[in-house]
Amino acid sequence: MDYLVSKLKLEIYKKLGFHIQKQSDVKYLHDHITVSILHPVGFNTLRRFFGFLPSGDPQFKTLDALSEYIGFTSFAKFSEFVNKDENWNTWTFIADFENTNSISSEMLERLIKLKPHSDYIYYISVLIKSFIRRGRLDLLKIIFAKHPYSLLFKKDDIDSQEVLDILKIAYAVGGVLRTLTRPQYEKLAPLLSDEYVFKTTVLDFYIDYSNFNGYYGFFVQNRLLLDHQPDHQIFANLISNYHLFLSGKSTFKAYNPDISNLELYPALLGRLLGYQLITSYFKDDQPTQSLVNQIVDIAKGKHISIFFIEIFPALIFTKSIDDIKHIFSVFNDDLFETGDWVYYTTQNMYLISSAFVEIKNKNYDKAEHYLGLVSLDNSKTNSYFTYLKLFFLIASYQLEKQTTSYRLVLSEFEVEYLDLVKLTGFKRFKLALLKRYF
């Protein structure tokens, strides 16, 4: 409001041809307004508006009258004009910033002033993507550098309110990283240093299963060399070992780091426990039930929906469908959160898992219902798309096999499944897993 009132005064000065500095100037303006508009304002009202008398916020009828004087039908129309003008100024600034060869302190200050803007996350994402495409590591270092303030978020620290912003930036940046050649993404390795927040704002939130053999795997391996924070090390080790597992290699190792003094993000804790389910089953030949009971106890008090995101895939791999059913019986209401795109991955994973439970129990109508609710194709650039699609195809194949069993439909599933296995290199998803899961 204060900004719009200031702009209104400036427009009045432009029309008058001078700034109002004394009461005789106010009298001159009052005379002009009186003969110019239908509902003029009083002399004292004008004196209050320009600070010659004590005043509070101006009344809207005063603002309407002054807006009419400078050619607008109302203050609302004037505000609309100003906002459009400011939006254009913002867009030209972002466009110039996007194409700059150096970032001045003045540009940074103006960017920081934009943080309250509703589109700020979009603006900063546009800049990052442009700098990546242009190979401007020097400019990316400025954007991702750790500061007392954060250039990436509206607030200065990552908290629960900022998670959506982090995800949006990670999604935008991850999509560009997918398009780079190996020499291009290798040049970005310096951003993995602790001086920058690249790994915690992009790599931690855009876990690109389709590119474990590409840029994402490269960054993870280099993180292990550079990143010494315990929770970051846990994340990188889990991704590295899980990649070995998904690739069908026997070199993945049991991983049991000491987390007694760490407060891990729920998704990371769940990822650790999910991987331990896999190693205890495939390495130690142990049943899953005992560890699942521990997981259920640990889950209480956590953010359930994101805690289980990597536990359910582990249980599908180990064919522990009864354990999945048990988890649903305990946490069903907390697992399914709705109303926000942030839960795209979790909700699809839990719907697919529900279908596995119903197929095993021969409730084929329910299984078909759950699979019908899965919305994978809405976002093929989502980092989890191919990973989720492989599980979806196994469930869909098994449902088709147990019901109509049309050979043509089954063949289509097989072709798509094998194409995704080839794309990802995830040889753990053998054809036998698709065809003979149950």
DSSP for 271-289, please give it.
Answer: HHHHHHHHHHHHTT---SH
pLDDT, position 319? 97
Write the pLDDT tens digit of every residue in 345-389: 889 999 999 999 999 999 999 999 999 999 887 666 788 999 999
Instruction: Examine the pLDDT at 159 and tell me if it is beyond 70.
Output: no
Select from 68, 97, 126 the last residue of a domain.
97
What is the rounded distance in angstroms from the CA atom of residue 354 to the CA atom of residue 282?
A: 23
The pLDDT, as a whole number, for residue 74 is 84
| Residue 104 domain flag | no
**Looking at residue 379, what is its pLDDT?**
67
Q: Which residues pair with 196 in a beta bridge?
A: 145
pTM of the predicted protein model: 0.76
Among 51-60, 102-111, 258-267, 414-423, whose mean pLDDT is lowest? 51-60
DSSP 59: P
For 36, the domain range is 2-97
Residue 341 lies in a domain: yes
Domain count, the chain: 2
Residue 158 has pLDDT above 60, yes or no: no
Confidence of residue 166 (pLDDT cuts 50, 70, 90): confident
Residue 335 domain-assigned (yes or no): yes
Handedness of CA 227, 232, 238, 239 (dihedral sign): negative
One domain for residues 396 and 251: yes
In a domain, 400, yes or no: yes
Residues with Cβ within 8 Å of 412's Cβ and at least 6 positions away in sequence, in order, are none
Q: Amino acid identity, residue 410?
A: L
Is 157 part of a structural domain of the chain?
A: no
Among the candidates 97, 131, 165, a domain finishes at 97
Residue 273 vs residue 86, higher pLDDT: 273
For residue 420, name the pLDDT band (cuts at 50, 70, 90).
very high
H runs (alpha helix) in 227-360 = 230-246, 266-282, 289-299, 304-307, 311-317, 321-335, 344-360
Stretch (H or E) spanning 47 = helix 43-49
Residues 398, 258 share a domain: yes
Average confidence (pLDDT) over 320-334: 94
Helices (H), 70-144: 75-98, 105-113, 120-133, 137-144
Confidence of residue 167 (pLDDT cuts 50, 70, 90): confident
User: What's the pLDDT at 153?
Assistant: 67
- The crossing angle, in degrees rounded to 10, of helices 344-360 and 385-402 is 20
Say yes or no: 293 and 432 in one domain: yes
Residue 176 placed within a domain: no
CATH number at residue 281: 1.25.40
CB 420 within 8 A of CB 390: yes
Average pLDDT for 285-305: 92
Given 97, 113, 131, the domain boundary residue is: 97
pLDDT interval class at 154 (50, 70, 90): low
The amino acid at residue 36 is S
Domain assignment present for residue 207? The answer is no
Looking at the predicted structure, is the pLDDT value of residue 6 above 60?
Answer: yes
214 domain residue, yes or no: no
Least confident interval from 49-58, 153-162, 216-225, 389-398: 153-162
Q: Are 98 and 125 in contact (CB under 8 A)?
A: no
Considering the domain architecture, whether residues 260 and 395 belong to the same structural domain is answered as yes
